[in-house]
Each structure stands twice: as C-alpha cells, then as structure tokens.
Amino acid sequence: MQHIFLSPHFDDAVASCGGSIAKLVYERKDVKVITIYTRQPDLTSISKKFDKFAIYDQRKKEDKVALDKLSADYKWMDIEERAYRTPLLKKPTDVFRINLSEGLKQFLNIREIQTELDKIFEKNPKTKIYAPLGVGNHFDHVEVFLASLMYMVDNALFDNFLFYLDSYGMFSTKMRRKHYLGKQIISRGKKPENSSFKWFMITSVMNAMISGHKIEKLLSSKYLDLEWELKTSSIKGYERTKFSALMCYESQVNLFGKKTLEKFFNRHHKNWDSSELFMQVKEI
C-alpha cells in the first residue's frame, strides 16, 4: 500500500503530520508527499508585500532537504497558489477568505487535483490518501480539502482517505472551532497558542483576520451527511525527526522563530499523548 500526503504548500504536510510520515517510512512503507501549489509566480506582476512567500527557488530546495531527511518521495504539481493568480488579492490576509457568493466555481483547480487522484488510484487502488481538513480557512487548503472530500464521496473511497489537522488548526482553538469538522477536535491540556507571548500575539492576529469558516455552505447534503471520527496517530519517538525536518524550511521558520515553534509544537503534541490528529468518515 502506498501512503500519499497532499500538501497544499511546501511545509504543510511536514508541519501537520511529519511524525506520521517518519513513522511510516521507518516501517518500510511507500510514502510520497505531493505538494500542490508550487508554480513560481511572476514577481514583476505582484505587490512586494507578497514577496516573502514567493521565493520558490529557495522553498523548493528547502522542501527537498526536508523530505530527504524524512526519506520520503515527493512530487510538485506546479499549480499556482491563490495569492499570486488573477484577480490579484488586495492584501495577503485575503487568502484566508472565501467568497460564498461564488460557490465552488471560485476553486479553479479542483478538477486538476482530482485528475491527479485518478492517476494515483489507477496505479494502486489501495492507496491511502492524507489530505488537509482546511482548518484555518486558507483558500488553497480549502480547495485541496474540497477536491479530496468530493472525490472520496463520489467514488465511495471512504477507507482510503484520512484528513489531517492543518497546522493552522494546531495554532489556535478558536481557529479550529470555525471549521465544521474541527469543532469535533476537543481541546486538551494547556492551549498551544499560549505557549509563549509571541505565539499568543501571532494567533490573535490570525484569528482576527480569518473570516468565519463556511465550508459547509459550499457543499450539498451528499457531502455533508457523513459521520466522522477522530483518529490519532502516535508519533512517540519521532517528534525530533519531525521537528528536524520542519527546521529545514528556513524561509518560513525565520518568520516565527525556531524556539517559538519548538515550544508550540512540543505543547501541542504533549496535549495529545505524542500524537498527530486526523479525521475519517465512519464505516458506512
């Protein structure tokens, strides 16, 4: 069986479930990370306030080093992320907003993502897919979630899909509660967002800029009338491996600080008995 992790951006799969990736590799499983939004934008056409995330040459090098450290195979789909495609966003924080009036038609890449899933299952029908829940309302994460959810339901592949808690969902309890499935992940222990004053400020700002999550308003009852359950994946003994790989994404780590991130992730994992969190549809 192959295990494929869909990562919206370069560091998402490692930050959210790097321990599970490391554990599966250690168990000699076939593991691959497919990163969706990796196309280099035209820097001359975007505002400089978006530049800090647009250093794709560097970010690809970082991704390769991180996944080599985990001994995981990888693929870059080279789709353009929402922040850099037309119509251009007015400010970076607009990427955390969904236009409900436009419905599903605003998500232009759902079919391309599902075509990739077609290829995967044609090659190996028993493949296990790990997709983001879309907690945090980041447009790209939501698009991958929607593409995966609809593909799973339309093809009745419920046993083949697990949906991982995005790092945004780890960041903040309030952020998690805005997602219709994230509400099922009840908080434990001390809130990770309070692990340091710096992290408290970061998550407070993020909560303020994220509009209320309304993914469920984009979907018909066919995709909503499902029973979900929380699945935990123990990464005990793999925490350091995960964190070592995460530190390879220097361009992103430097935005938060290594010590701040380490303290945050340590608290999150401690709260969940050294586990990473997933949601799965109950047997139908």
What does the DSSP 8-state code read for residue 101? G
Angle between helix axes 110-123 and 139-154 (nearest 10 degrees) is: 50
Per-residue model confidence (pLDDT) at position 64 = 97
Fold of 2-281: Rossmann fold (3.40.50)
SS3 137: coil
Report the b/e string of 104-117 with b at 16+ CB within 10 A.
eeebebbeebbebb
3-state secondary structure 26-83: HCCCEEEEEECCCCCCCHHHCCHHHHHHCCHHHHHHHHHHHHHHCCCEEEECCCCCHH
Per-residue model confidence (pLDDT) at position 55 = 80
Question: How is 155-209 classified by DSSP, letter by letter?
Answer: TT-GGGEEEE--HHHHH-HHHHHTSTTGGGS---SS-GGGSSHHHHHHHHHHHHH
12 band by pLDDT with thresholds 50, 70 and 90? very high
pLDDT over threshold 70, residue 48: no
> What pTM does this model have?
0.94
Neighbours of 73 (CB within 10 A): 15
Question: Model confidence over 54-98: pLDDT tens digits?
Answer: 788 899 999 999 999 999 999 999 999 998 887 877 777 788 888
Gap between the Cα atoms of 70 and 269, Å rounded: 19
Give how far the C-alpha of residue 242 lies from the chain's centroid of Cα atoms, to the nearest Å. Answer: 15
